[in-house]
Amino acid sequence: MALRFKNCSMLTPKTTCQPQRAQYFIRLISGNGHSIFNGTAGKFPTQQVALPSCALPLTVKNSLIFSASGCHRSIHEVATKTLNPKNFSDIPGPKPLPLIGNTLLFFTHKDFDLNNVQKFWESITREYGGIVKLKVFGAPTMVVTTSPDDVEILYKSTMEDPRRIGFECLKAVRDHNKDNFFNKKTGLLTEHGEEWWRVRSRVQAPLLRPRSVAMYLPAVDGATKKFMNRIDLLQEGTGQVPPDFLHELHKWALECVGLIALNRELGCLDPGLRQDSFPMQLVASANAFFNAATEAEIGFPAWMFYRTKPYVRLETHHDAFLALAIEAIKEAEDRLQEVTSSQDPHRRLSIMETLLSTDGLNRSDVATIILDLLLAGIETTANALGFTLYLLARHPQEQRRLQETVDSVVGDASAPLTPQHLAAIPGLGHVLRETLRLYPLVFGSSRILCSDVVMSGYRVPAGTLVLSLQSVISQQEEFFPEAKKFLPQRWDRDRPFGPMHPFASLPFSHGTRMCVGRRIAEQQIFTFLVRVLQKYTVRFEHQEEMRVKSQFTLKPETPLTFTFAPRA
Ligand code: HEM
């Protein structure tokens, strides 16, 4: 029988002078703290064991840590690779040119396409293997991996200083704000190190604590019910929603995130809105904001040399949203004053009011948080929901199964939805997890290593930029049997398809820098699924496979012309 460890198990070297020949004393500790194996490196148990998938050589303590995971692997195999790592220079990859390294590859590779970035990376790992080294001009040496063991090492070894790449253009826009509003402190998405942690440590609880997110459930439910009525309007006469239905989902997502980030109903779902109305302008601006950020951030960073068109557009729409954020902050400050003077002990503060009353956060910090929530929280939720509806529509059995649970747990469609209802329908989470396994919105996750580690049997030095390819890992048969199939029940608590590597599908990332909007996104998507399945059966008549666009986030490219058939 396989051994299972919950906690870390430790390997302590007896001698440290020559790692290859060092004698390691090994102690494996089980979840309940009992010692399971004591011995030296030469006497590893050779049977398959169920946890130690990852070995982290922590240079500080010069010890190896096997941490708890979930896949079957021989300790011997892991330890041998880790104790005798191959050189960094031996990692396969395209031959770099002097000075510019592999930069030209991005312009010349047959699969490089700015509309499908994922395809390029998948092709590179097919050509060179599961771990690849690249050198790009002006950036640290890069290692790309498709091993979940490496992902575990990556996240755990960078837990205290999770630096990633991206959002440099957004940072530039904030740094060069004409009023110096941000004072070079540009927020969660863009900062690193202590400045990032200053903000993150203060927003963590208000944004991720289930209780504070649940406070918005009635309002999110209200917006979602409005959207259900909108569906009837949208498919009137044709029996199916129009090809730009994804744009409709964006409006719904903006309305929902606005409830939290701006603390107000924006009115994006009101019927009969004119193009020049405030909500419609806002919807257009949110789209333009995201598209400009995408254009500026991916591909060659020409904005570093001159004010490119995407840079100027990003600046314009960013400033429009900044004005809105400042207005919302003023309103929240006035309300806070009223709360203080009325001294009502039962009045619960909104998330924005909580942030404004938090020591160590000032108005411009709160403004960056609002802007980041708007930038990161619309497209992501809408796209994830688009993929989920598509998969449910293509798998009527799975849809029926979820519908039946929704009916039995929530019952009457006119009754208010509660956090207890959502918690009692684990199928909602399973469907979303499976959707994001098949369509991971973020194709890869990056970190800059802060210590030397061993990945896939190679020593990788501190300072290396490591990119883990979630889109490849989460579709490997080795980690997900019948990987191409939509099987939400694989996430059931008893894991009917066998144990799963906990680092093989992490759509919201992991650790201290994981998505701070995860609970907000889940609550919105679950609410939508409950309300839509109560009222309709979703169908997608077209047989073609989903085409996707992979830029900043993965996006459905096939028009989402669903039929929402009213239930009898
Ligand atoms: C299905 C929906 C979503 C997915 C799959 C997703 C995924 C992610 C991922 C992978 C990261 C990168 C974390 C890292 O570097 O380790 C991230 C960061 C972030 N997300 Fe989300 N996200 C989603 C929805 C949202 C929503 C709704 C919001 C806000 C309302 C949001 C706000 C953020 C912010 C502010 C960060 C930066 C956190 C930091 O650097 O500290 N996300 N998200």
Q: Is the model's pLDDT at 75 over the cut of 80?
A: no
> Which atom of ligand 1 is the closest one to the Cα of 261?
30
Determine what percent of the chain is predicted with pLDDT higher than 90: 63
Asked if residue 276 and residue 368 are part of one domain, the reply reads: yes
In a domain, 389, yes or no: no
CA trace torsion 439, 376, 351, 156 (10° rounding): 70
Distance 48 CA to ligand 1 centre (A): 36
In a domain, 46, yes or no: yes
Q: Is the model's pLDDT at 345 over the cut of 90?
A: no
Rounded Cα gap, residues 122 and 368, in angstroms: 34
In a domain, 68, yes or no: yes
CB count in 10 Å sphere of residue 141:
19
Q: Is the model's pLDDT at 64 over the cut of 70?
A: no
The CB of 441 under 6 Å from ligand 1? The reply is yes
Q: Is the model's pLDDT at 148 over the cut of 60?
A: yes
Asked if residue 80 and residue 173 are part of one domain, the reply reads: no
**CA-based nearest residue to 65, from 76, 77, 74, 52:** 52
End-to-end CA distance of the chain: 50
**CA-based nearest residue to 171, from 467, 371, 443, 328:** 371
Distance 430 CA to ligand 1 centre (A): 19
Residue 75 parent element (H or E):
helix 75-83
The CB of 377 under 6 Å from ligand 1? The reply is yes
Asked if residue 200 and residue 59 are part of one domain, the reply reads: no
Rounded Cα gap, residues 16 and 375, in angstroms: 48
Q: Is the model's pLDDT at 39 over the cut of 60?
A: no
Residue showing tokens 């019910």: 225
Question: What are the Cα distances from residue 143, in Å, to 7, 80, 138, 460, 463?
Answer: 28, 21, 15, 8, 11
Q: Provide DSSP, 156-183.
A: HHTTTS------HHHHHHHHT-TT-TTT
Distance 414 CA to ligand 1 centre (A): 32
Distance 563 CA to ligand 1 centre (A): 30
Handedness of CA 14, 19, 22, 23 (dihedral sign): positive
The CB of 189 under 6 Å from ligand 1? The reply is yes
Distance 273 CA to ligand 1 centre (A): 30
In a domain, 13, yes or no: yes
Asked if residue 78 and residue 172 are part of one domain, the reply reads: no
Give the pLDDT band of residue 541 (cuts 50, 70, 90). confident
Rounded Cα gap, residues 433 and 449, in angstroms: 28
The CB of 508 under 6 Å from ligand 1? The reply is yes
Q: Is 216 helix (H, G, I), strand (E, B) or coil?
A: coil
CATH number at residue 363: 1.10.630.10
Contact 553, 383 (CB under 8 A): yes
Residue showing tokens 């930029």: 465
Cα 264 to chain centroid distance, Å, stands at: 26
Task: Quote the tokens at residue 268.
Answer: 């994006």
The CB of 253 under 6 Å from ligand 1? The reply is no
Residue showing tokens 């889940």: 522
The CB of 147 under 6 Å from ligand 1? The reply is no
Which pairs count as long-range contacts for 390-396, CB under 8 Å and 24+ apart, including other chains? 390/540, 390/546, 390/556, 390/558, 390/560, 390/562, 391/431, 391/434, 391/435, 391/438, 391/486, 392/431, 392/529, 392/538, 393/538, 393/539, 393/540, 393/562, 394/486, 394/540, 395/486, 396/537, 396/539
Q: Which of 23-32, 204-213, 270-279 has the lowest mean pLDDT?
A: 23-32
Rounded Cα gap, residues 540 and 555, in angstroms: 17
Asked if residue 207 and residue 354 are part of one domain, the reply reads: yes
By most ligand atoms within 8 Å of CB, the mutation choice from 515, 518, 519, 552 for ligand 1 is 515
Rounded Cα gap, residues 14 and 20, in angstroms: 12
User: pLDDT for 88-127, tens place per residue?
Assistant: 999 999 999 988 999 888 888 988 888 888 888 889 999 9
Distance 473 CA to ligand 1 centre (A): 19
- Phi-psi label, residue 141: left if phi above 0, alpha if psi -120 to 50, beta otherwise: beta
The CB of 200 under 6 Å from ligand 1? The reply is yes
pTM recorded for the entire structure: 0.88
Highest-scoring range by mean pLDDT, 35-39, 338-342, 403-407, 458-462: 403-407
Q: Which of 69, 84, 99 delimits the end of a domain?
A: 84
> Which atom of ligand 1 is the closest one to the Cα of 445?
15
Task: Quote the tokens at residue 460.
Answer: 């990788």
**CA-based nearest residue to 567, from 539, 528, 542:** 539
Nearest residue by C-alpha to atom 42 in ligand 1: 517
Q: Is the model's pLDDT at 38 over the cut of 80?
A: no
Contact 325, 371 (CB under 8 A): yes
Q: Which of 51, 84, 117 delimits the end of a domain?
A: 84
Rounded Cα gap, residues 99 and 136, in angstroms: 9
The CB of 380 under 6 Å from ligand 1? The reply is yes
In a domain, 205, yes or no: yes
Rounded Cα gap, residues 516 and 535, in angstroms: 31
Distance 198 CA to ligand 1 centre (A): 18
Q: Is the model's pLDDT at 32 over the cut of 60?
A: no
Q: Is 444 helix (H, G, I), strand (E, B) or coil?
A: strand
Within 8 A by CB and 6+ apart from 566, the residues are 535, 536
Contact 490, 500 (CB under 8 A): yes
Q: Is the model's pLDDT at 47 over the cut of 50?
A: no
The CB of 386 under 6 Å from ligand 1? The reply is no
Contact 565, 536 (CB under 8 A): yes
Distance 295 CA to ligand 1 centre (A): 19
Asked if residue 62 and residue 193 are part of one domain, the reply reads: no
Residue 469 parent element (H or E):
strand 465-469
Distance 514 CA to ligand 1 centre (A): 7
Residue type for position 542:
H
256 is in an annotated binding site: no
> Which atom of ligand 1 is the closest one to the Cα of 380?
2
In a domain, 157, yes or no: no
Q: Which of 377, 402, 429 delimits the end of a domain?
A: 377
The CB of 208 under 6 Å from ligand 1? The reply is no
> Which atom of ligand 1 is the closest one to the Cα of 524?
27
The CB of 517 under 6 Å from ligand 1? The reply is yes
Q: Is the model's pLDDT at 69 over the cut of 80?
A: no
Asked if residue 304 and residue 202 are part of one domain, the reply reads: yes
Distance 174 CA to ligand 1 centre (A): 19
Q: Is 132 helix (H, G, I), strand (E, B) or coil?
A: strand
Domain count, the chain: 2
Distance 189 CA to ligand 1 centre (A): 9
Rounded Cα gap, residues 568 and 535, in angstroms: 9
**CA-based nearest residue to 381, from 520, 288, 486, 477:** 520
The CB of 78 under 6 Å from ligand 1? The reply is no
Question: What are the Cα distances from residue 147, in Å, to 129, 431, 468?
Answer: 10, 24, 8
Handedness of CA 201, 203, 204, 209 (dihedral sign): positive
Rounded Cα gap, residues 447 and 468, in angstroms: 9
Rounded Cα gap, residues 78 and 381, in angstroms: 38
Asked if residue 196 and residue 51 are part of one domain, the reply reads: no
The CB of 4 under 6 Å from ligand 1? The reply is no
In a domain, 222, yes or no: yes
The CB of 384 under 6 Å from ligand 1? The reply is yes
pLDDT at 422: 98
Segments forming the whole domain that contains residue 321: 168-377
Within 8 A by CB and 6+ apart from 493, the residues are 426
Cα 253 to chain centroid distance, Å, stands at: 16
Q: Is the model's pLDDT at 2 over the cut of 50?
A: no
Question: In this predicted complex, what is the ipTM?
Answer: 0.99
Q: Is the model's pLDDT at 405 over the cut of 50?
A: yes
Residue type for position 492:
D
> Which atom of ligand 1 is the closest one to the Cα of 442?
10
Phi, psi (rounded to 5 degrees) for 374: -70, -40
